[in-house]
């Protein structure tokens, strides 16, 4: 399947995908999660997905469902535990999003992602040797933390992590995510926009240097004229060309490292 044939994440319902919800137990507490399972004969690869800071919404459901259509079992743990912004579809509610992010427990969020990976491992239909993480914005930070802490991850796809370094370290932010890169064992695809203020060229060069220094297989893709969160559907953020190209690059990356057998473009 070439890039033009790969379906973009523009729908959340497919005839060959079964959606469901589960509750993950994380250190004795409950984390709701969405699950999308392909009809492909197993065992299939699995991907734990980190949602944006808006919470579980149409965009992340479309991402998870489309990846399932392409042959991956996907799980999306809600790191807000049902208590995120009141309208996850509203990208313009910056005050509400920032308020929730300020109180976010990143240690627990990383554990939520790892619990999602463990859930996929528990399914007889999933190959425990072909598991990955994939995330956007704050969800990419969670995916980065999970990749550094879980040695079973075999591919990490990070769309512009929003917190390379925290404003301050504390109980909920015990270490800067960038300082855990050394412990990643999977190949990494790092995706940013050329105009992303979170990822200026010097910081991106530092990430490249760290990945290279510790011999972590990686690819860094920067898309022209795109800012932060360029895949999100919000008109003020979305960059159509970059979003399409990044999706194709990410799907190709997981296909290389996790090896799902994708359906035909017309399926």
Written as one string, the DSSP assignment of 149-175 is H-TTEEEEEEE--S-SS-SS-SSSS-S
Average pLDDT of 173-178? 98
Average pLDDT of 97-126? 97
pLDDT at residue 260 greater than cutoff 90: no
Nearest C-alpha neighbor of 155 from the set 49, 35, 34, 21: 49
Between CA 163 and CA 183 the distance in angstroms is: 17
Look-up: residue for tokens 């990643």? 184
Average pLDDT of 93-105? 94
pLDDT computed for residue 5 by the predictor: 84
The pTM of this model reads 0.95
Q: Where are the domains of the chain?
A: 3-258
pLDDT at residue 96 greater than cutoff 50: yes
Give the whole-number percent of the chain exceeding pLDDT 70.
96
DSSP-assigned letters across all residues of 190-244: EEEETT-TTS-HHHHHHHHHHHHHTT--EEEEEETT--TTTTSS-TTT--HHHHH
Q: What is the tens place of the pLDDT at every residue in 59-93?
A: 999 999 999 999 999 999 999 999 999 999 999 99
pLDDT at residue 262 greater than cutoff 70: no
* Rg of the chain over all Cα atoms, to the nearest angstrom: 17
Superfamily assignment of 3-258 in CATH? Alpha/Beta hydrolase fold, catalytic domain (3.40.50.1820)
Contacts of 116 (CB under 8 A, 6+ apart): 24, 33, 48, 49, 75, 76, 77
**Band of the pLDDT at 41, cuts 50, 70, 90?**
confident
pLDDT computed for residue 42 by the predictor: 84
3-state secondary structure of 147: helix
pLDDT computed for residue 266 by the predictor: 36
Give the whole-number percent of the chain exceeding pLDDT 90.
93
**Band of the pLDDT at 264, cuts 50, 70, 90?**
very low
pLDDT computed for residue 263 by the predictor: 44
The residue that leads in pLDDT, 237 or 267, is 237
What is the Cβ-side half-sphere exposure of residue 44, based on CA atoms within 13 angstroms? 24
């Amino acid at each position: 399947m070439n890039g033009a044939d790969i379906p973009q994440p523009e729908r959340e319902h497919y005839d060959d995908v079964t959606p469901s919800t589960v509750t993950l137990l994380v250190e004795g507490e409950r984390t709701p999660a969405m699950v999308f399972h392909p009809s492909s004969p197993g065992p299939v690869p699995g991907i734990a997905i980190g949602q944006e800071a808006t919470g579980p919404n149409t965009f992340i459901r479309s991402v998870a469902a489309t990846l399932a259509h392409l042959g991956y079992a996907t799980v999306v743990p809600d790191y807000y535990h049902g208590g995120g912004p009141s309208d996850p579809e509203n990208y313009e509610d910056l005050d509400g999003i920032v308020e929730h992010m300020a109180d976010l427990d990143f240690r627990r969020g990383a554990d939520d992602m790892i619990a999602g990976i463990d859930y996929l491992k528990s399914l007889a239909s999933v190959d425990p040797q072909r598991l990955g993480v994939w995330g956007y914005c704050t969800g990419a930070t969670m995916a980065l933390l999970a990749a550094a802490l879980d040695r079973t991850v075999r591919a990490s796809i990070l769309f512009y992590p929003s917190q390379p370094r925290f404003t301050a370290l504390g109980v909920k932010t015990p270490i800067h995510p960038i300082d855990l890169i050394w412990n990643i064992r999977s190949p990494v695809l790092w995706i940013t926009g050329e105009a992303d203020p979170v990822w200026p060229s010097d910081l991106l060069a530092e990430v490249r240097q760290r990945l290279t220094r510790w011999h972590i297989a990686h690819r860094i893709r920067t898309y022209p004229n795109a800012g932060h969160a360029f895949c999100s559907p919000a008109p003020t953020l979305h960059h159509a060309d970059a979003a399409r190209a990044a999706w194709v690059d990410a799907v190709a990356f997981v296909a290389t490292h996790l090896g799902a057998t994708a359906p035909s473009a017309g399926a």
